[in-house]
């Protein structure tokens, strides 16, 4: 039976450790429970690990469906089938044990496959779309389950057909490549060490990279050149080892984070005439100041609301 909680403090679910009270949060434990909840049309937003999202610290007049417990996988030869709520790091390790390569990049990711496929997650010259075969998705408009192949997913940089909230991932299949187990593990260990040196631990609340890379450049490089490392706003701080990360070092609010993001955005725009676009998603509807700053930065999808 799915767990459903009214007036839920959503910061308990986010890696940023920020967020106010949502109207209702639902936690399905199986694909059947997930589909039944979707059919009710009661839920405004579907999320997985809540690892690249910033919720408003104010009251959030939305119902949230969280799929992190809809997890499971099956490995058949070179094919891996994964449910939407399964953690990427878990399957990275399971694939390595089978001598299958393609998922090494996600070893340090806190997110679930639903989110990673939606944003076509990537790192270290690998991406989720590289070995993608097909996915079963729930069509919210027609209440039907359909299967989409790789071409139909419209994968791009940090996007897919799932990005428009029209479909909800149920599960997906991937075809990995056989490779030496020890070499796969060596690559995974290098990826972990890279993350430890460059990116903040989740012991500091954070949501991963804050801004997308502009074409043919790096958001981190541009922010570094603006000397923004260590800048603070309330309880939020730009990470001292990588300027494209913000950490919640002292009970930061969503307004602290968005104000700091706007400073980062404005500095780069002023110096390089480049408008950085947020990679994280913002969910909120009650605080005018943070909504106004977010809309300036977000040129395409704006605030998540349906």
- Looking up tokens 């950490």 gives 247
pLDDT in tens, 69-107: 999 999 999 999 999 999 999 999 999 999 999 999 999
The two structure tokens encoding residue 299: 């040129």
pLDDT in tens, 169-224: 999 999 999 999 999 999 999 999 999 998 998 889 999 999 999 999 999 999 99
Which of 253, 293, 287, 292 lies closest to 57, judged by CA? 253
Residue 127, phi then psi, degrees to nearest 5? -140, 165
pLDDT in tens, 126-176: 999 999 999 999 999 999 999 999 999 999 999 999 987 789 999 999 999
Distance CA 178, CA 119 (A): 26
Which of 222, 265, 266 lies closest to 242, judged by CA? 222
pLDDT of residue 11: 96
Q: Which residues does the annotation mark as catalytic?
A: 158, 209, 279
The two structure tokens encoding residue 9: 């403090």
> Which domains does the chain show, CATH number per domain?
3-66 (3.30.43.10), 73-195 (3.30.465.10), 219-297 (3.90.78.10)
pLDDT of residue 301: 42
Residue 306 in this model has a pLDDT that exceeds 50: no
The whole-model pTM stands at 0.93
Cα–Cα distances (Å) from 284 to 12, 62, 67, in that order, read: 16, 9, 20
Which of 289, 282, 280 lies closest to 255, judged by CA? 289
Residue 303 in this model has a pLDDT that exceeds 70: no
Distance CA 256, CA 237 (A): 9
């Amino acid at each position: 039976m799915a767990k459903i909680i009214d007036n839920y403090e959503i910061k308990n679910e986010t890696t940023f450790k920020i967020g106010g009270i949502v109207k209702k949060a639902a936690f399905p434990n199986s694909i059947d429970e997930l589909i039944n909840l979707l059919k009710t049309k009661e839920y405004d937003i579907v999320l997985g690990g809540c690892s690249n999202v910033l919720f408003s610290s104010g009251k959030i007049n939305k119902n949230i469906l969280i799929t992190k417990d809809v997890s499971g996988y099956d490995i058949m030869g070179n094919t891996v089938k994964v449910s939407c709520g399964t953690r990427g790091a878990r399957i990275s390790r399971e694939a390595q044990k089978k001598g299958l390569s393609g998922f090494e990049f996600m070893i340090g990711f806190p997110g679930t496959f639903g989110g990673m496929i939606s944003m076509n997650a990537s790192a270290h010259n690998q991406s989720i779309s590289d070995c993608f075969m097909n996915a079963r998705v729930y069509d919210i408009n027609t209440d039907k389950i359909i299967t989409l192949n790789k071409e139909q997913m419209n994968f791009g940089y940090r996007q897919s057909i799932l990005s428009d909230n029209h479909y909800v991932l149920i599960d997906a299949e991937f075809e990995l490549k056989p490779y030496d187990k020890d070499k796969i593990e060596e690559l995974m260990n290098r990826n972990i060490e890279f993350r430890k040196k460059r990116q903040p631990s989740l012991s500091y609340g954070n949501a991963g990279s804050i801004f997308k890379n502009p074409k043919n450049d790096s958001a981190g490089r541009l922010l570094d050149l603006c000397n923004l490392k260590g800048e603070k706003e309330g309880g939020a701080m730009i990470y001292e080892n990588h300027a494209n990360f913000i950490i919640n070092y002292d009970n930061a609010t969503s307004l602290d984070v968005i104000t700091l993001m706007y400073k980062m955005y404005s500095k780069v725009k002023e110096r390089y005439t480049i408008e950085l676009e947020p990679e994280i998603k913002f969910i909120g509807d009650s605080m005018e100041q943070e909504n106004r700053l977010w809309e300036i930065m977000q040129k395409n999808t704006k605030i998540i609301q349906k």
